[in-house]
Amino acid sequence: MTANLHPLEEPRREAVGQPVAEPPVSTAGAPVDPTVDRAGEALRERAVERLRKKADFRMHLLTFVMFNGMFVLIWAMTGRHFFWPVIPLGIWGIGLIAHAVDTFGRNVPTEDDILEEMDRLRR
């Protein structure tokens, strides 16, 4: 045992003439810290993104209801001829449906979906 080391420490490899292994490096070029939970970080990022999408959709829905309610109220107060609010209701409604599909639809492919697509590409 070396005199300068704590009994539980290992001697440094360069001190005894052995090559030192390079630490793993991420794609960004920074060293990878094995103590960091990468899967947990990715899951957290997905959760935050999903919560943000839901909040954005709720704001879009609220705006849709308020503006189109105002259009129907204006139509009702001005004589009730042709129901012109159907035009913004229909056009904006298509956008709202697309936003709902983007928010609540399945946006992350499963491992089975990926494997199935890889099999299709091999054929």
User: What pLDDT, on the 0 to 100 scale, is given for residue 42?
Assistant: 76
CA distance 48 to 103: 13
**Residue of 73 and 39 predicted with greater confidence:** 73
Contact criterion met (CB below 8 Å) for 56 and 103:
yes
* Mean pLDDT, rounded, for 60-67: 98
- pLDDT over 60 at 55, yes or no: yes
72-111 confidence digits (pLDDT tens): 999 999 988 899 999 999 999 999 999 999 999 876 777 7
Rounded to 5 degrees, what are φ and ψ at 71?
A: -60, -45
User: What pLDDT, on the 0 to 100 scale, is given for residue 87?
Assistant: 96
As a whole number, the mean pLDDT across the chain is 81
- pLDDT over 70 at 117, yes or no: yes
Tokens standing for residue 40: 């947990």
